[in-house]
Amino acid sequence: MASLAPQQTEQLYMSQGTPKGSNGADLVRKSSLYREFEAEKEEIMKHKWIESQKAGHDIGFERALTDWIIKHRSKWRRSRQQPPSPTAP
């Protein structure tokens, strides 16, 4: 059995594995992993803005990312993993 080149494998998957009317980019955007990535990126950008305002200059994405990971990421992730509390009657 001959192996397919990566590009051929991708084309085969896209032609057989994707529902009609959608494409791979749509599937990625709808994935829960991608949504989590986008939500985390949004939090980092908020942190960058706040810390840049405090510093009086743009601190840059890498510094904001590192600072946010150290100070906030674990708590943020835990808060997103908790099931919503039941509503009171």
Average pLDDT, the chain: 79
Per-residue pLDDT, averaged over 75-82, amounts to: 89
Encode pLDDT of 34-44 as tens digits. 899 999 999 99
Encode pLDDT of 51-64 as tens digits. 999 999 999 999 99
Distance CA 80, CA 83 (A): 8
Q: Supply 3's token pair.
A: 């192996």
Quick one: pLDDT at residue 12?
Answer: 45
